[in-house]
Amino acid sequence: MPAKGVLVAVTADVVIAGGGVIGTAIAWRAAMAGLDVVLADPAQGDAASLVAAGMLAPVSEALFGEGALLRINLLAVARFGSFAAELEEVTGQRIGLRREGTLAIAYDPGDYAALMRLTAFRRSAGLDAVELDSRACRKLESFLTPDVHGGVLFAGDWSVDNRRYAAALREAAAAAKVRIVRDRVTEVLTRDGRTRGARLADGGEIASAQVVVAAGCGSSAIAGLPAEVRAAVRPVKGQLLRLRHPDAMPPVISHTIRATVRGADVYLVPRADGEVIVGATQEERGPDRTVTAGGVHDLLHDAMSVLPVTSELILAETCAGLRPGTPDNGPIVGGFGAGDGAGNGPGNGPGNGQRGLLLATGHYRNGILMSPVTADAIVACLTGQPLAAEWEPFTPGRFMSRPGAREGSR
Amino acid sequence: MPAKGVLVAVTADVVIAGGGVIGTAIAWRAAMAGLDVVLADPAQGDAASLVAAGMLAPVSEALFGEGALLRINLLAVARFGSFAAELEEVTGQRIGLRREGTLAIAYDPGDYAALMRLTAFRRSAGLDAVELDSRACRKLESFLTPDVHGGVLFAGDWSVDNRRYAAALREAAAAAKVRIVRDRVTEVLTRDGRTRGARLADGGEIASAQVVVAAGCGSSAIAGLPAEVRAAVRPVKGQLLRLRHPDAMPPVISHTIRATVRGADVYLVPRADGEVIVGATQEERGPDRTVTAGGVHDLLHDAMSVLPVTSELILAETCAGLRPGTPDNGPIVGGFGAGDGAGNGPGNGPGNGQRGLLLATGHYRNGILMSPVTADAIVACLTGQPLAAEWEPFTPGRFMSRPGAREGSR
């Protein structure tokens, strides 16, 4: 592993910029597909995937009208189980996958009306939903406040321990001979419309015919990407709490609880090791990653409103991360050509961007959930296969203003 | 400095058990008085004085009827200025002494009635108090909520940056040739009713004719102290927040604000370096030092109730400390003899405890404020002078059940 500050002369089949769960999942699967992979990231601690609750809920995250996103999310949750099983088998690590489902809670009648609309939407997508009155909610989760108006059990929602998941992915990637460079990609290098490698912050270059940009919010700072794509990614700050049970206190919840408290959303996600994650704010504040008094207060207040016993838990950590948001809330996955995502197919014409450049960013609130299907999609592109049809609405070309580029993304 | 784990054969004039602000202030002053001093503490980070707001407010901490405590507190605040000036001069460090005064705020009419009773009490003690209506409060502190019912400015209250103060004391002590041992005193050693030294956790012993126990809550774990004294000290947990201004935000307060919000007390103490301390809970939970969701929530909630802009501040740190409480809320200062505190005077009879043993603990919420006067009192005892009369109600003998011991404390 080249140390930062040392000029490296490295070649690879593919350089992946960004070592969050998206980049690392791609790196692992690409290496398994026989590619020689370099994964570049200065510090995994910056990844949004380390500040996450790990909910695998295909619909509660999809807003009405985001039909294409819902389809991808449904595929993503269907894929997650086998991907997780393979990851656990390869690494021998447990990633804390939980299948108890989500109990959605409405605090007052207005919250309940909103929950009923969401429930109808989820049912229209073919998902299981069981309506529960206040007493039935408390039968499932005995520490809920009696003030809860009602709820719905979404049995198909899972959760995963995001940090264990990220650590297992890193181990799987390393075991698959992915080379890890602790530095940041500052530029995708091109020559005659083709990718020729990546430049690192320390000035070193890695020569490769393909580059995958999976740097989350950091993607917008990478030179050599089309300006429209760089402009499409923005940070959406999320603050999150990690609570811990005091010694000898039994678990206070067994399901993920998503509550709406007088219009404010809060979730509580239990972990196998006795942690409860409480999240998350959504704030448009640019690159600011500070934990604020108001953010922490609101999370604690809403959590204690539905589950008063939360007040007895230990506040083990407060943190803030930056989700990569996009104008249409959809991820940016694929390349700039037609036929396949990487621009290597016959339909790839001039002016469509550059060959060998792939994007895997903008996953917003769905990065953990989408990481397996994104890795599948990107590895298909890297190995010359076509991008699957369900990804077509999410290629980077949709943000390109030039007509040729837009056609190239269809 | 002997390393922990190494048996030491050390002699000293006095061993001081405990390196919080009380023990370190005593160590510095004792060394300045010509004594050869060993200060033993495993880690200053455990001291309650590092989890404190540093308010120097003689009366708001004294409950009605605690007249003797009030007298000591008034002497303590009068002494603090010259002590601080000498400390800053000796070390060249600034300890963040602020003299803006305290603005006491009442949120609702019930809170205001309680504040008026406190104000009458403070005035009866000869202290300055200026009543202010809501508008006048906001003229002093423009970010206060307009909902504030009213307030009182106590101009004589000061505050100090407790961590800077503790660091300066350590530097002053080291400069005065105090020897610091990074270990815990587990036992005060005696022979024939006289102190002969202290045993450390690593098994080493330090021979000294005088020992000062200034270990806060940890005092109760030290063998060789009378059981009644050990039982008199209990931990009272306090949770506290350190908030920080975001870049470019001007200070949100200039005075210490003590607010009562529907009966709940909260204070906000500004620091020169842009921090605001918010404290503090008072919890009887034994040795538990965890930061809880409920504790942090309540502090944030009450702070934001009176000063809504608090929500915009960065939550830089949450911490919890253990104040050494006593049955009568008074400190435990002095020895077991008559004439002087250390039991060396002519009036010291058998059965009064042991000669050469001094206590300086149980300072509860007033440890920072009382550290200079406590150091003066203890150094007087160590150098054969009588304990000042104002300390007589606070000698350890008041907890001794044997009549002889009680007489010895008068």
Question: Which has the minimum average pLDDT: B7-16, B54-63, B325-334?
Answer: B54-63
- pLDDT above 80: residue B218: yes
| Under-70 pLDDT residues of chain A | 1-9, 45, 59-65, 337-353, 402-410
Q: Please, are residues B269 and B161 in contact by the beta-carbon 8 Å criterion?
A: no
Check A311 against B318: CB less than 8 A apart. Answer: no
Check B293 against A313: CB less than 8 A apart. Answer: yes
Nearest CB partner across the interface for A311, out of B297, B311, B315 = B297
Check B300 against A300: CB less than 8 A apart. Answer: yes
- pLDDT above 90: residue B358: yes
pLDDT at A405: 43
Pair of tokens at residue B171: 């530097």
Interface check for B27 against chain A (CB to CB < 8 A): the answer is no
Q: Please, are residues B217 and B46 in contact by the beta-carbon 8 Å criterion?
A: no
Distance to chain B for A194, nearest Cα, Å: 43
Read off φ and ψ for residue A327, nearest 5 degrees. Answer: -60, -35
Nearest CB partner across the interface for A297, out of B246, B295, B301 = B301
Interface check for B292 against chain A (CB to CB < 8 A): the answer is yes
**What interface predicted TM-score (ipTM) does this complex get?**
0.86
Interface check for B315 against chain A (CB to CB < 8 A): the answer is yes
| B240-278 per-position pLDDT tens digit | 999 999 998 999 999 999 999 999 999 999 998 889 999
pLDDT at B390: 94
Distance to chain A for B248, nearest Cα, Å: 13
Q: What is the mean pLDDT of residues B209-231?
A: 96
More confident residue, B85 or B347: B85
Q: Please, are residues A76 and A158 in contact by the beta-carbon 8 Å criterion?
A: no
| B311-350 per-position pLDDT tens digit | 999 999 999 999 999 999 999 999 986 544 444 443 333 3
Q: Any idea what the Cα angle at residue A377 is, between residues A374 and A383, rounded to 5°?
A: 135
Nearest CB partner across the interface for A293, out of B294, B295, B310 = B310
Whole-angstrom distance, CA of residue B117 vs CA of residue B61: 14
Tell me which chain B residues have a C-beta less than 8 angstroms from the C-beta of A288: 246
β-pairing, A14-17 with A37-40?
Answer: parallel
Interface check for A287 against chain B (CB to CB < 8 A): the answer is no
Q: Tell which of B239, B292, B307 to mutate to test the A interface (max A CBs under 10 Å).
A: B292
Global confidence as pTM: 0.89
Q: How many CA atoms lie within 13 A of A152 on its CB side?
A: 24
pLDDT at B66: 73
pLDDT at B127: 85
Least Cα distance to B269 among B163, B373, B120 occurs for: B163
- pLDDT above 80: residue B105: yes
Whole-angstrom distance, CA of residue A284 vs CA of residue A36: 38
Interface check for B286 against chain A (CB to CB < 8 A): the answer is no
Q: Tell which of A243, A315, A318, A319 to mutate to test the B interface (max B CBs under 10 Å).
A: A315
Whole-angstrom distance, CA of residue B232 vs CA of residue B332: 9
More confident residue, B357 or A65: B357
Nearest CB partner across the interface for A243, out of B293, B304, B318 = B293
Interface check for B94 against chain A (CB to CB < 8 A): the answer is no
Pair of tokens at residue A56: 């695998």
Check A314 against B243: CB less than 8 A apart. Answer: no
pLDDT at A346: 37
Least Cα distance to B294 among A297, A396, A3, A94 occurs for: A297
Q: Any idea what the Cα angle at residue B180 is, between residues B52 and B4, rounded to 5°?
A: 105
Using H for helix, E for strand and C for coil, what is the string for A100-154?
CCEEEEECCHHHHHHHHHHHHHHHHCCCCCEEEEHHHHHHHCCCCCCCCCEEEEE
Check A291 against B314: CB less than 8 A apart. Answer: yes
Whole-angstrom distance, CA of residue A377 vs CA of residue A372: 9
pLDDT at B353: 60
Distance to chain A for B153, nearest Cα, Å: 26
